[in-house]
Amino acid sequence: MKKALICGISGQDGAYLAQLLLSKGYSVCGTSRDAQISSFQNLMRLGIREQVKLESMALTDFRSVLQILTKIDPDEVYNLAGQSSVGLSFEQPVETLESIATGTLNLLEAIRFLGKPIKLYNAGSSECFGDTGGDPADETTPFRPRSPYGVAKATAFWQVANYREAYGLFACSGILFNHESPLRPERFVTQKIVSAACRIAGGSQEKLLLGNMSIQRDWGWAPEYVEAMYLMLQQDEPDDYAIATGASHRLEDFVATTFAELNLDWREHLIVDESLFRPTDIQLGKGNPTKAGQKLGWQACYQMDDVIRMMILAKAQQGLNVLLEAV
């Protein structure tokens, strides 16, 4: 039985990845900064909370990382931890850089120190690319990050590449474009939109406040994207891959489609709030996943419209469950 260690298991990707690995017969251990007080709600929502071993680990503390790697002795490590909000990174740039870059470095160095054949997956981000002038970004596109989050992810990416080349570690980064699911918290714009639209459809008189409506993003389905993570660590040689649908849509399109699914006119329920504009932002995010298709056999099956419908359906089911519990 293979053993996997998932750093940041309490998040969206960590929970779906744990579910995938369990289905493949893995023994799964997950970490958070304080496993004793964390609720692990996403694991509970997926019904796998009791199947996962949980440990406390501070990625920014090398000793903590080394202790957990020694204790768990994993075959594969998936690094999904760190401050995960682009918007919040402008308010907390130091915390963002330390949690992502220092955390990744500690993992790499601990694996090198132990000298065991541990495979490492690192969660990269399309935020590393910045603006690409409208061209789809792939593994050869230069990085020009436009947020503290993007800078931190770019730093971690090059750390991984350096340890792979200098020390021979099986370490790779998945440069993932935006991927959504019902497990997203409402501080992410897609869940904010879906949740508000569902409440409005249910009679709420609230207004949806959003920032720059003209930005374009490549939105995919998170459960599909964790499959790409798994596939990267099953290859004979480590490499980096861009993971995306290959199609981009404006935020306005995401809003319009969501409200239309609920038979609402988004224009009647939205206010553009300039305070929500970021100091610097990426106008167009679009990925080219050709390499992942050719080498991993991975391709996105779900596009933006599918993602919206599945998120709305999950909200409806969640509401039904609450109603049934009340009865």
Q: Annotate the chain with three-state secondary structure.
A: CCEEEEECCCCHHHHHHHHHHHHCCCEEEEEECCCCCCCCHHHHHCCCHHHCEEEECCCCCHHHHHHHHHHHCCCEEEECCCCCCHHHHCCCHHHHHHHHHHHHHHHHHHHHHHCCCCEEEEEEEHHHCCCCCCCCECCCCCCCCCCHHHHHHHHHHHHHHHHHHHHCCEEEEEEECCEECCCCCCCCHHHHHHHHHHHHHCCCCCCEEECCCCCEECCEEHHHHHHHHHHHCCCCCCCCEEECCCCCEEHHHHHHHHHHHCCCCHHHCEEECHHHCCCCCCCECCECCHHHHHHHCCCCCCCHHHHHHHHHHHHHHHHHHHHHHHC
Provide the annotated active-site residues. Answer: 125, 127, 149
